[in-house]
Chain A
Amino acid sequence: MPGQPLLEVRDLSKRFAMRGGREPSPWIIQDLSFSVADGEFLTIIGPSGAGKTTLLNVIAQIDTASGGEVRYQSEVAPLGDAKALNPGLSCRIGYVTQEDNLLPWRTTIENVLFPLNVQRRLNPETRARAEMLIRTVGLAGFEHHYPHELSGGMRKRASLIRTLAYDPPIILMDEPFGALDAQTRLHLQEDLLRLWNLGRKTIVFVTHDIAEAIALGDRTLVLSRTPSRIAGEHVITIPRPRDIRGLMSHPEFGATYERIRAQVQ
């Protein structure tokens, strides 16, 4: 991956303000540093409560940082002042959250087109791309259904392609497949890799599932318990395209899994 990293996190620290003037609250993240190269699929593993969502919230500019900095394409993002926050960094950072956050009063296609709408980028070309995405993840025929008429897995898919539809250069994903059953999760992992292959976007994917992190990522970072910092970095040498279903029988999988598992407390 040539050139400088797309996203750089340096000595990032975060704790939440305590109300009522009691002792300061514990650090959620402390002196956390890593970088992400352009076109890289980075996975981050951490146990529950390790501040994974907090980390992504800060990067996505939804939350302030208490220290350190985040650079996007060498441009320092404003992090200390809540008023100066720029969620999504002007649509350059996409964010697929744990909850699907679909608008309940809009149909599937309206939800998928929602970002393009508010960005005033809706035209025949972008619309065709959105429709292609809908077909790719198997939601064809459900374009005019409301979220409450869709299953959990379908809502997740819709939420996923909503972000893909407007094509931000970097996409953060917060355990997007966590609440789904194993079969659906497998399907969605395959769909995600297939879509990623089409455009080689930069993705930062957070999960607590080691197998998922290995299956999807070019590189995996291990997060320690709070106060979280990077406990380790593992390059995934399994070549692409990957067969997710048969991944566990790949010769390199076992060793990689063990290495990572040892580091995750």
Chain B
Amino acid sequence: MAILGDERKSARVALWSSRAAARLRARGDQIVVLLVLIAIWQTLSMTLGAYWVGSPWGVLTRFTAGILDGELLRNASYTAAEAALGFLLGALPAAALPFALRRLPIATAILDPFMVGGYGAPKLALAPLFILWFGIGIESKIALVAVTVFFIVYFSALAGVRALDARLVRMAQVVGASERDVARHIVFPGAVPYIFTGLRIAMPYSIGGAVIAELISANRGLGYLVQLGAMNFDTTGIFVALVATTLIVFLGNWSVNAAERRLLRWRPPADLTVETGT
């Protein structure tokens, strides 16, 4: 028995170490790929000229300089603020509406084709209209983001309200819960995971919307920096702004995930979602 146990143990150790070895090798490959990409970039920059593609070092130094003198952070926070405020302005009513209409299924049914239409319609095409209405400032960007986010979160929240577990509602009724109690303790917490899915999907659209509006017309923000770089044939400046924008997207993703982890601690593990990206 002891010999078999040892064999099993060493087989397990071998398997674990081969898996760990495979993981290590993959990590190594990934680092190699990163270095290769940077090397290609550097080569292109030397052959075609930094004018066309910028250079890795140039972008790095300009990025650091931008942070140190505050200019990059200022513009980044401007774009982030547009995205965040628009996100809240769109997501809060969108999440609240299915709850408010929960007892009026007719209202939801009447609204449905309009909501589907709003969801399918190209909201970003409204960018020039909002700029016409609100001008070059932050308001037009916030409005665009809010409209885009609204329809996404509405359908997620609606799915959450609909996925009500009737047995939990019955249990609550038997122990004396009122309608408000049921809404507060059962409908809402049950819908939160669905709402978070919607928030996660809507988040990249919020930053994308802010950037698009800035590309069309702005005097501050990362999209503005991209346009500025383009107008001055300053490729390095464009790349710096692009890197900053991508970082903000990652930050946004991280925030939503962190909030979800905190609020949804009660969920049993194993929940996979596949997203398609912006």
Contacts and interface: CB of A to CB of B under 8 A. Distances in A.
| A contacts B: CB pair < 8 Å | yes
Interface of A: 60, 62, 87-88, 90-91, 93-95, 97, 99, 101, 103-106, 114-115, 118-119, 146-148, 162-163, 166
A87 B170 contact: yes
A95 B192 CA distance: 28
Nearest to A147: B266
B178 A118 contact: yes
B178 A60 contact: no
Interface of B: 167-168, 170-178, 181, 185-186, 189-190, 192, 265-268
Contacts of B174: 60, 62, 87-88, 93-95
B186 A90 contact: no
B252 to A, nearest CB: 25
Contacts of B178: 118
Given A104-B266, A146-B265, A91 B175 contact: yes
Nearest to B184: A118
Given A101-B167, A101-B171, A88 B267 contact: no
Nearest to B171: A101
A93 B177 CA distance: 14
A162 B177 CA distance: 14
Given A101-B171, A103-B186, A115 B176 contact: yes
15 contacts: A87-B170, A88-B175, A97-B167, A101-B168, A103-B168, A103-B186, A105-B192, A105-B266, A114-B172, A114-B175, A114-B185, A118-B177, A119-B175, A119-B176, A166-B175
A163 B192 CA distance: 27
Contact of A105 (B170, B173, B177, B189): B189
B187 to A, nearest CB: 12
Contacts of A115: 175-176
Given A97-B167, A101-B168, A101-B171, A106 B176 contact: no
A146 B190 CA distance: 14
